[in-house]
Amino acid sequence: MKHTLFRILAALALLIGVVLSMVRSAQAAASPTIEVIAVKVGETVTIRAYDFPGGLFTVRMDKYGNMALNGLVADVTNTGAGGSFQETYKIPAALKNEARLAIRLENSAGYYAYDWFANQISTQPTPTPTITPVPVTNKVLISVLSVEQNKTVTLRTTNFPANTNFTVRVGPFYTFFRDYVTTGTINSGKGGTFDFSVTLPAVVKDVELVTVRLDGGGIYAYNALRNVTGSGTLTPTPSAASCQIVSIVLNGPVSANSDFDAVWTIKNTSSTDWDAASVDYQFVSGAALHKKASYDLRSTLKAGSSASFIVDMRAPATRGTYKEYWAVMQGSKTLCSMNVTMNVK
Protein backbone atom coordinates (compact mmCIF):
# COMPACT_ATOMS: atom_id res chain seq x y z
CA MET A 1 0.00 0.00 0.00
CA LYS A 2 2.80 2.45 0.87
CA HIS A 3 4.57 1.67 -2.38
CA THR A 4 1.34 2.23 -4.35
CA LEU A 5 0.71 5.57 -2.62
CA PHE A 6 4.31 6.61 -3.29
CA ARG A 7 3.94 5.82 -6.99
CA ILE A 8 0.69 7.80 -7.18
CA LEU A 9 2.25 10.83 -5.48
CA ALA A 10 5.31 10.62 -7.73
CA ALA A 11 3.10 10.47 -10.80
CA LEU A 12 1.11 13.50 -9.62
CA ALA A 13 4.32 15.44 -8.97
CA LEU A 14 5.56 14.59 -12.46
CA LEU A 15 2.24 15.65 -13.99
CA ILE A 16 2.26 18.96 -12.09
CA GLY A 17 5.82 19.58 -13.25
CA VAL A 18 4.86 18.96 -16.88
CA VAL A 19 1.85 21.30 -16.62
CA LEU A 20 3.91 24.07 -15.03
CA SER A 21 6.56 23.64 -17.72
CA MET A 22 3.88 23.93 -20.43
CA VAL A 23 2.48 27.07 -18.81
CA ARG A 24 5.94 28.64 -18.58
CA SER A 25 6.63 27.72 -22.21
CA ALA A 26 3.32 29.23 -23.31
CA GLN A 27 4.05 32.39 -21.41
CA ALA A 28 7.53 32.64 -22.90
CA ALA A 29 6.22 32.07 -26.43
CA ALA A 30 4.72 35.54 -26.66
CA SER A 31 6.07 38.67 -25.03
CA PRO A 32 3.80 41.62 -25.79
CA THR A 33 5.37 45.00 -25.07
CA ILE A 34 4.21 48.62 -25.24
CA GLU A 35 5.95 51.98 -25.32
CA VAL A 36 4.48 55.42 -24.70
CA ILE A 37 5.23 57.65 -27.69
CA ALA A 38 3.13 60.76 -26.99
CA VAL A 39 1.13 62.38 -24.19
CA LYS A 40 -1.40 65.19 -24.21
CA VAL A 41 -1.16 66.19 -20.58
CA GLY A 42 -4.26 65.34 -18.57
CA GLU A 43 -6.11 64.18 -21.69
CA THR A 44 -4.65 61.34 -23.77
CA VAL A 45 -1.71 58.97 -24.07
CA THR A 46 -0.56 57.30 -27.29
CA ILE A 47 1.21 53.93 -27.21
CA ARG A 48 2.89 51.70 -29.74
CA ALA A 49 2.43 47.95 -29.11
CA TYR A 50 4.46 44.97 -30.35
CA ASP A 51 3.99 41.17 -30.50
CA PHE A 52 0.46 41.11 -29.10
CA PRO A 53 -1.71 38.01 -29.41
CA GLY A 54 -5.10 38.50 -31.01
CA GLY A 55 -8.26 39.30 -29.08
CA LEU A 56 -9.61 41.76 -26.54
CA PHE A 57 -7.31 43.60 -24.12
CA THR A 58 -8.48 45.74 -21.21
CA VAL A 59 -6.63 49.06 -20.93
CA ARG A 60 -5.98 50.18 -17.33
CA MET A 61 -4.30 53.27 -15.88
CA ASP A 62 -3.20 54.10 -12.35
CA LYS A 63 -0.69 56.13 -10.35
CA TYR A 64 2.91 55.21 -11.09
CA GLY A 65 4.37 52.44 -8.92
CA ASN A 66 2.11 49.39 -9.22
CA MET A 67 2.19 48.60 -12.97
CA ALA A 68 -1.50 49.68 -13.09
CA LEU A 69 -2.59 46.40 -11.48
CA ASN A 70 -6.34 46.68 -10.79
CA GLY A 71 -6.15 50.21 -12.17
CA LEU A 72 -9.02 52.21 -13.62
CA VAL A 73 -10.40 50.80 -16.87
CA ALA A 74 -9.72 53.38 -19.60
CA ASP A 75 -10.74 51.43 -22.71
CA VAL A 76 -10.92 48.03 -24.42
CA THR A 77 -8.77 47.28 -27.46
CA ASN A 78 -9.32 44.52 -30.00
CA THR A 79 -5.97 43.50 -31.50
CA GLY A 80 -7.57 41.52 -34.33
CA ALA A 81 -5.17 38.80 -35.46
CA GLY A 82 -2.46 40.21 -33.19
CA GLY A 83 0.91 41.76 -33.94
CA SER A 84 1.83 45.44 -33.69
CA PHE A 85 -0.42 48.48 -33.53
CA GLN A 86 -0.60 52.10 -32.37
CA GLU A 87 -3.48 53.52 -30.35
CA THR A 88 -4.50 56.59 -28.32
CA TYR A 89 -6.46 56.36 -25.05
CA LYS A 90 -8.16 58.96 -22.84
CA ILE A 91 -6.68 59.47 -19.38
CA PRO A 92 -9.42 58.82 -16.77
CA ALA A 93 -10.66 62.05 -15.15
CA ALA A 94 -9.66 60.78 -11.68
CA LEU A 95 -6.02 60.57 -12.81
CA LYS A 96 -5.63 63.64 -15.01
CA ASN A 97 -3.82 65.64 -12.30
CA GLU A 98 -1.33 62.93 -11.34
CA ALA A 99 2.31 63.72 -12.21
CA ARG A 100 3.22 60.16 -13.31
CA LEU A 101 0.94 57.41 -14.52
CA ALA A 102 1.20 53.76 -15.48
CA ILE A 103 -0.69 52.17 -18.38
CA ARG A 104 -1.34 48.45 -18.70
CA LEU A 105 -2.96 46.24 -21.35
CA GLU A 106 -4.12 42.81 -20.16
CA ASN A 107 -6.41 40.01 -21.29
CA SER A 108 -8.24 37.13 -19.63
CA ALA A 109 -5.56 34.64 -20.75
CA GLY A 110 -2.93 36.32 -18.57
CA TYR A 111 -1.04 38.26 -21.24
CA TYR A 112 -0.12 41.82 -20.30
CA ALA A 113 2.27 44.68 -21.01
CA TYR A 114 2.77 48.01 -19.23
CA ASP A 115 4.70 51.27 -19.32
CA TRP A 116 4.68 54.59 -17.47
CA PHE A 117 4.68 58.22 -18.57
CA ALA A 118 5.03 61.76 -17.22
CA ASN A 119 1.75 63.65 -16.90
CA GLN A 120 3.02 66.77 -15.13
CA ILE A 121 0.55 69.64 -15.10
CA SER A 122 2.13 73.01 -15.89
CA THR A 123 1.39 75.94 -13.55
CA GLN A 124 2.11 78.44 -16.32
CA PRO A 125 -0.76 79.95 -18.36
CA THR A 126 0.50 78.37 -21.56
CA PRO A 127 -1.18 75.88 -23.89
CA THR A 128 -1.10 72.22 -22.86
CA PRO A 129 2.17 70.73 -24.14
CA THR A 130 2.54 67.53 -26.10
CA ILE A 131 5.31 65.18 -24.97
CA THR A 132 7.03 63.49 -27.91
CA PRO A 133 9.94 61.41 -26.60
CA VAL A 134 10.89 60.13 -30.06
CA PRO A 135 13.34 62.64 -31.63
CA VAL A 136 12.62 63.88 -35.14
CA THR A 137 16.29 64.51 -35.98
CA ASN A 138 18.50 61.75 -37.35
CA LYS A 139 15.47 59.61 -38.16
CA VAL A 140 16.22 55.92 -38.66
CA LEU A 141 15.51 54.80 -42.21
CA ILE A 142 15.82 51.74 -44.41
CA SER A 143 16.03 51.92 -48.20
CA VAL A 144 15.69 49.16 -50.80
CA LEU A 145 18.80 48.49 -52.89
CA SER A 146 17.69 45.50 -54.95
CA VAL A 147 15.01 42.82 -55.21
CA GLU A 148 15.03 39.27 -56.55
CA GLN A 149 11.37 38.40 -57.04
CA ASN A 150 9.97 36.02 -54.39
CA LYS A 151 13.49 35.35 -53.10
CA THR A 152 15.47 38.15 -51.45
CA VAL A 153 15.62 41.88 -50.91
CA THR A 154 18.77 43.84 -50.06
CA LEU A 155 18.38 46.92 -47.89
CA ARG A 156 20.49 49.75 -46.46
CA THR A 157 20.03 51.44 -43.07
CA THR A 158 20.53 55.11 -42.17
CA ASN A 159 21.10 56.58 -38.67
CA PHE A 160 20.69 53.25 -36.86
CA PRO A 161 21.90 53.03 -33.24
CA ALA A 162 24.89 50.80 -32.49
CA ASN A 163 24.79 47.28 -31.03
CA THR A 164 21.01 46.93 -31.05
CA ASN A 165 19.09 43.78 -31.95
CA PHE A 166 16.30 44.40 -34.45
CA THR A 167 13.46 42.01 -35.28
CA VAL A 168 12.85 41.69 -39.02
CA ARG A 169 9.21 41.43 -40.09
CA VAL A 170 7.95 40.95 -43.66
CA GLY A 171 4.39 40.96 -44.97
CA PRO A 172 2.01 42.16 -47.70
CA PHE A 173 1.87 45.96 -47.82
CA TYR A 174 -1.92 46.30 -47.63
CA THR A 175 -2.43 43.79 -44.79
CA PHE A 176 0.95 43.97 -43.07
CA PHE A 177 -0.25 44.15 -39.45
CA ARG A 178 -2.53 41.18 -40.00
CA ASP A 179 -0.33 38.90 -42.11
CA TYR A 180 3.34 39.73 -41.41
CA VAL A 181 5.81 37.01 -40.35
CA THR A 182 9.03 37.37 -38.38
CA THR A 183 11.95 36.26 -40.54
CA GLY A 184 14.77 36.69 -37.99
CA THR A 185 16.85 39.26 -36.13
CA ILE A 186 19.79 41.46 -37.05
CA ASN A 187 22.32 43.30 -34.89
CA SER A 188 23.19 46.83 -35.94
CA GLY A 189 26.87 46.43 -34.98
CA LYS A 190 28.57 49.82 -35.19
CA GLY A 191 25.27 51.38 -36.25
CA GLY A 192 24.87 54.15 -38.77
CA THR A 193 24.70 52.79 -42.31
CA PHE A 194 25.03 49.12 -43.23
CA ASP A 195 23.60 46.75 -45.86
CA PHE A 196 21.81 43.46 -45.22
CA SER A 197 19.62 40.97 -47.09
CA VAL A 198 16.27 39.42 -46.14
CA THR A 199 14.82 36.21 -47.53
CA LEU A 200 11.23 36.80 -48.64
CA PRO A 201 8.82 34.37 -46.92
CA ALA A 202 6.02 32.39 -48.53
CA VAL A 203 3.40 34.83 -47.24
CA VAL A 204 4.53 37.39 -49.86
CA LYS A 205 5.04 35.01 -52.77
CA ASP A 206 3.70 36.70 -55.93
CA VAL A 207 2.42 39.62 -53.80
CA GLU A 208 3.00 42.83 -55.74
CA LEU A 209 3.74 45.18 -52.82
CA VAL A 210 5.72 44.04 -49.77
CA THR A 211 6.61 45.78 -46.49
CA VAL A 212 9.85 45.13 -44.58
CA ARG A 213 10.02 46.44 -41.00
CA LEU A 214 12.79 46.46 -38.37
CA ASP A 215 12.01 47.21 -34.72
CA GLY A 216 14.12 47.05 -31.59
CA GLY A 217 15.45 49.18 -28.78
CA GLY A 218 12.21 51.18 -28.74
CA ILE A 219 12.53 52.39 -32.34
CA TYR A 220 11.49 51.09 -35.74
CA ALA A 221 11.87 51.69 -39.46
CA TYR A 222 10.08 50.25 -42.47
CA ASN A 223 9.79 50.55 -46.21
CA ALA A 224 7.77 49.13 -49.07
CA LEU A 225 9.02 47.45 -52.21
CA ARG A 226 7.65 46.10 -55.44
CA ASN A 227 8.17 42.34 -55.58
CA VAL A 228 9.78 42.27 -59.02
CA THR A 229 13.39 41.68 -59.90
CA GLY A 230 15.16 45.03 -60.05
CA SER A 231 16.19 47.77 -57.64
CA GLY A 232 14.97 50.89 -55.89
CA THR A 233 12.65 51.99 -53.10
CA LEU A 234 8.90 52.28 -53.47
CA THR A 235 7.39 55.09 -51.40
CA PRO A 236 3.58 54.84 -51.42
CA THR A 237 3.24 57.71 -48.95
CA PRO A 238 0.07 59.75 -49.49
CA SER A 239 0.22 63.45 -50.16
CA ALA A 240 -0.94 65.42 -47.13
CA ALA A 241 -3.15 67.60 -49.35
CA SER A 242 -4.65 64.87 -51.59
CA CYS A 243 -7.93 64.41 -49.69
CA GLN A 244 -10.14 65.60 -46.86
CA ILE A 245 -12.31 63.31 -44.71
CA VAL A 246 -15.56 65.29 -44.54
CA SER A 247 -17.46 62.82 -42.33
CA ILE A 248 -17.55 59.23 -41.09
CA VAL A 249 -20.95 57.64 -40.39
CA LEU A 250 -21.95 54.16 -39.24
CA ASN A 251 -25.33 53.31 -40.80
CA GLY A 252 -27.24 50.71 -38.81
CA PRO A 253 -27.08 49.39 -35.24
CA VAL A 254 -23.52 48.46 -34.27
CA SER A 255 -24.51 45.64 -31.97
CA ALA A 256 -23.10 42.11 -31.71
CA ASN A 257 -23.59 40.03 -34.88
CA SER A 258 -25.36 42.89 -36.70
CA ASP A 259 -24.85 44.14 -40.27
CA PHE A 260 -24.07 47.80 -40.84
CA ASP A 261 -22.26 50.13 -43.26
CA ALA A 262 -19.24 52.34 -42.66
CA VAL A 263 -19.60 55.45 -44.84
CA TRP A 264 -16.80 57.96 -45.42
CA THR A 265 -17.56 61.22 -47.22
CA ILE A 266 -14.27 62.19 -48.87
CA LYS A 267 -13.30 65.28 -50.83
CA ASN A 268 -10.66 64.99 -53.55
CA THR A 269 -8.48 67.98 -52.68
CA SER A 270 -5.77 67.12 -55.20
CA SER A 271 -5.40 68.79 -58.58
CA THR A 272 -6.22 65.64 -60.58
CA ASP A 273 -9.35 63.52 -61.02
CA TRP A 274 -9.61 60.09 -59.39
CA ASP A 275 -10.35 57.93 -62.44
CA ALA A 276 -12.86 55.14 -61.76
CA ALA A 277 -10.95 52.90 -64.18
CA SER A 278 -7.73 52.99 -62.12
CA VAL A 279 -8.68 54.03 -58.55
CA ASP A 280 -10.26 51.86 -55.85
CA TYR A 281 -10.39 51.74 -52.06
CA GLN A 282 -8.93 48.84 -50.09
CA PHE A 283 -8.64 47.39 -46.58
CA VAL A 284 -5.16 47.99 -45.10
CA SER A 285 -5.20 46.66 -41.53
CA GLY A 286 -7.27 46.37 -38.39
CA ALA A 287 -10.16 44.33 -37.04
CA ALA A 288 -11.33 42.88 -40.40
CA LEU A 289 -15.09 43.27 -39.86
CA HIS A 290 -15.71 44.06 -43.55
CA LYS A 291 -17.39 41.69 -46.01
CA LYS A 292 -15.22 42.76 -48.98
CA ALA A 293 -11.61 43.93 -48.83
CA SER A 294 -11.70 46.09 -51.97
CA TYR A 295 -14.21 48.28 -53.81
CA ASP A 296 -14.11 50.03 -57.18
CA LEU A 297 -15.11 53.68 -57.43
CA ARG A 298 -18.68 54.02 -58.65
CA SER A 299 -17.65 56.92 -60.90
CA THR A 300 -14.70 59.23 -61.49
CA LEU A 301 -14.28 61.71 -58.63
CA LYS A 302 -13.24 65.05 -60.07
CA ALA A 303 -10.74 67.32 -58.32
CA GLY A 304 -12.53 69.44 -55.71
CA SER A 305 -15.56 67.12 -55.58
CA SER A 306 -16.80 64.85 -52.76
CA ALA A 307 -18.31 61.36 -52.77
CA SER A 308 -19.40 58.60 -50.38
CA PHE A 309 -17.16 55.55 -49.87
CA ILE A 310 -19.24 52.70 -48.44
CA VAL A 311 -18.00 49.44 -46.85
CA ASP A 312 -20.36 46.61 -45.81
CA MET A 313 -19.54 45.48 -42.28
CA ARG A 314 -20.66 42.79 -39.85
CA ALA A 315 -20.07 43.23 -36.12
CA PRO A 316 -18.46 40.34 -34.20
CA ALA A 317 -20.14 38.46 -31.34
CA THR A 318 -17.85 40.08 -28.75
CA ARG A 319 -18.53 43.59 -27.51
CA GLY A 320 -15.67 46.08 -27.55
CA THR A 321 -13.93 48.78 -29.57
CA TYR A 322 -12.71 47.87 -33.05
CA LYS A 323 -10.79 49.90 -35.63
CA GLU A 324 -10.17 49.43 -39.35
CA TYR A 325 -7.77 51.26 -41.66
CA TRP A 326 -8.57 51.71 -45.37
CA ALA A 327 -6.98 53.64 -48.22
CA VAL A 328 -7.95 55.05 -51.60
CA MET A 329 -5.37 53.62 -53.98
CA GLN A 330 -4.25 54.16 -57.55
CA GLY A 331 -2.05 51.16 -58.26
CA SER A 332 0.69 51.33 -55.61
CA LYS A 333 0.06 55.01 -54.81
CA THR A 334 -1.98 55.96 -51.73
CA LEU A 335 -4.30 58.85 -52.55
CA CYS A 336 -6.11 59.02 -49.22
CA SER A 337 -5.86 57.23 -45.85
CA MET A 338 -9.14 56.58 -44.02
CA ASN A 339 -10.00 54.79 -40.78
CA VAL A 340 -13.06 54.12 -38.66
CA THR A 341 -13.59 53.19 -34.99
CA MET A 342 -16.58 51.03 -34.08
CA ASN A 343 -17.97 50.48 -30.58
CA VAL A 344 -19.82 47.16 -30.65
CA LYS A 345 -22.50 46.95 -27.95
Share of the chain above pLDDT 90, in %: 21
One-letter amino acid at 136 equals: V
On whether the CB atoms of residues 39 and 48 are closer than 8 A, the answer is: no
Which residues lie across from 181 on neighbouring strands? 170
| Residue 256 and residue 338 in one domain | yes
264: in domain: yes
Single out the residue of 204, 224, 175 nearest to residue 325, CA to CA: 175
Of the three residues 92, 107, 131, the one that is the final residue of a domain is 131
Q: What is the pLDDT of residue 318?
A: 83
Q: What are 96-115's pLDDT values in tens digits?
A: 888 889 999 988 777 788 88
CA–CA dist 340, 324 (Å, integer): 6
Q: What are 255-267's pLDDT values in tens digits?
A: 888 899 999 999 9
| Residue 93 and residue 155 in one domain | no
One-letter amino acid at 118 equals: A
pLDDT score of 151 more than 70: yes
Of the three residues 91, 106, 131, the one that is the final residue of a domain is 131
- Which residues lie closer than 8 Å to 32 by C-beta, 6 or more apart? 49, 50, 51, 52, 53, 105, 111, 112, 113
Please classify residue 282 by burial: count the beta carbons closer than 10 Å to its beta carbon, then call 0-12 exposed, 13-18 middle and 19+ buried: middle
Of the three residues 131, 161, 177, the one that is the final residue of a domain is 131
Work out the pLDDT band at 90, boundaries 50, 70, 90: very high
Rounded to two decimals, what is the model's pTM?
A: 0.38
CA–CA dist 161, 138 (Å, integer): 10
By 3-state DSSP, what share of the chain in percent is helix, strand and coil, each rounded to 5? 10, 50, 40
| Residue 148 and residue 121 in one domain | no
Q: Which residues span the domain enclosing 300?
A: 243-344
22: in domain: no
CATH code of 125's domain = 2.60.40.1930
On whether the CB atoms of residues 116 and 101 are closer than 8 A, the answer is: yes
CA–CA dist 120, 259 (Å, integer): 44
| Residue 261 and residue 309 in one domain | yes
More confident: 59 or 69: 59
